[in-house]
Amino acid sequence: EAQVTQNPRYLITVTGKKLTVTCSQNMNHEYMSWYRQDPGLGLRQIYYSMNVEVTDKGDVPEGYKVSRKEKRNFPLILESPSPNQTSLYFCASSFAAGAYEQYFGPGTRLTVT
C-alpha cells in the first residue's frame, strides 16, 4: 500500500529536550516536505527536499532541522524545542515539486511544556 508514515503520532516533551519525528514514504517520490498546522493558520511549510541531499527552507523554518540521506526518509529534528513549537505536524511527499498531488502522513501531535 502506497503511504507516508510518521512516528511518533503523539509526543509530549519538555522545553530544550531534543527530539526527532521520523517520516518515510514507499512511493519512490522525489519531493518531500514538512508542514505544521495551527488553528486559523492552515498548513505552513517548514522545510522541503527536492531530492536526496537537497533540502531548503519553507516559510517557517526557525527552530527546525531536516536531513535527506535516503530517498524514502525525511526526519524532522527539533534541537531545542520550545512551547511555540506545540503543533500538529505533517510530512508529505509527491512525485515532484509544485503542481503534483501531495500525499500526507497521518500527523504527529507535539506538545512542548
Partner 1 sequence: GENVEQHPSTLSVQEGDSAVIKCTYSDSASNYFPWYKQELGKGPQLIIDIRSNVGEKKDQRIAVTLNKTAKHFSLHITETQPEDSAVYFCAASMDGTDKLIFGTGTRLQVFP
Binding residues for partner 1, rule: CB under 8 A, are 4, 31, 35, 40-45, 48, 50, 56, 58, 90, 92, 97-99, 101-102, 104-107
If the CB atoms of residues 45 and 67 are measured against partner 1, the closer one turns out to be 45
Query: Is-contact 33 58, C-beta < 8 A?
Result: yes
Q: What is the CA radius of gyration of the chain?
A: 13
Neighbours of 88 (CB within 10 A): 14
Which set of grid coordinates corresponds to residue 23?
Answer: 517520516
Which set of grid coordinates corresponds to residue 60?
Answer: 517557517
Q: Report in angstroms how near the CB of residue 111 gets to partner 1 at its nearest.
A: 16
If the CB atoms of residues 14 and 104 are measured against partner 1, the closer one turns out to be 104
If the CB atoms of residues 12 and 14 are measured against partner 1, the closer one turns out to be 12
